[in-house]
Chain A
């Protein structure tokens, strides 16, 4: 069974640009969550999607947005990039929202903003 797939794995952008990250969940999983991981702040929740609807959102500015498609694949977008957006962005899927909290993480997309 294939795991969570995130693309691209690495990317470099400059300030002011925008970026789109993609996540394909485990087959059959309908919930996709996004997290930002930095050495200083650890793992921080961005948002969760279930059945194409955003179910929950963390404390991030509106520059961070996401969506989920009918096949459960998800994308997140960051506009007007800032240096502080440099981080590892992790996508996690789970079978159902509000389930056991068992998340299956992808390998992440490492974003560097110059």
Chain B
């Protein structure tokens, strides 16, 4: 059973602070990881992907992957109220010529002005 676990939150941070979102996964065969953002009443949208150990930065977002610890994180610097949303962590497992994304249940982030 491939599982992705996230703290459901809610996580509240003040505007301008760093928000840290975490995710663990059970399947060592998972090769790549993705962070999707879902605003209330909207569909998920991809914001970050990470494929190898280490950090990947894109603007105010930094994704971190540690395959040995089976741990993925997303840091949001200078958090803005517009970042308030549910963040979904997803792992991609590839096998037998196909792939499947397994999503965590999401962490709800609230950025307080």
Which A residues are closer than 8 A to B by beta carbons? 33, 35, 41-45, 48, 55-56, 58, 90, 97-98, 100-108
For residue B80, CB closer than 8 A to chain A, the reply is: no
Q: A43-B44, A107-B43 are in contact. Are A101 and B92 (CB under 8 A)?
A: yes
- Total A-B residue contacts, Cβ distance less than 8 Å: 56
For residue B97, CB closer than 8 A to chain A, the reply is: yes
Partner of A56, one of B32, B34, B43, B98: B98
Are A100 and B32 in contact, with the CB atoms below 8 A?
yes
Are A108 and B43 in contact, with the CB atoms below 8 A?
yes
Q: A42-B105, A45-B100, A56-B98 are in contact. Are A101 and B34 (CB under 8 A)?
A: yes
* Cα-based distance from A18 to B97 in the complex (angstroms): 32
24 CB < 8 A contacts A-B: A43-B44, A43-B90, A44-B103, A45-B100, A45-B101, A45-B102, A55-B98, A56-B98, A56-B99, A98-B94, A98-B98, A100-B32, A101-B101, A102-B34, A102-B46, A102-B49, A103-B44, A103-B101, A104-B46, A105-B44, A105-B45, A107-B42, A107-B43, A108-B43
Least Cβ–Cβ distance between A97 and chain B, in angstroms: 7
What are the 7 tightest A-B residue pairs by CB atom distance, in nearest-first order? A42-B105, A105-B43, A43-B103, A56-B98, A101-B92, A55-B98, A98-B99
For residue B109, CB closer than 8 A to chain A, the reply is: no
**CB-defined contacts of A100 to chain B, threshold 8 Å:** 32, 49
**CB-defined contacts of A105 to chain B, threshold 8 Å:** 43-45
Least Cβ–Cβ distance between B69 and chain A, in angstroms: 21
CB nearest neighbor in B for A41: B105
* Cα-based distance from A97 to B95 in the complex (angstroms): 12
* Cα-based distance from A87 to B105 in the complex (angstroms): 14
Q: A43-B44, A106-B43 are in contact. Are A48 and B98 (CB under 8 A)?
A: yes
* Cα-based distance from A98 to B32 in the complex (angstroms): 11
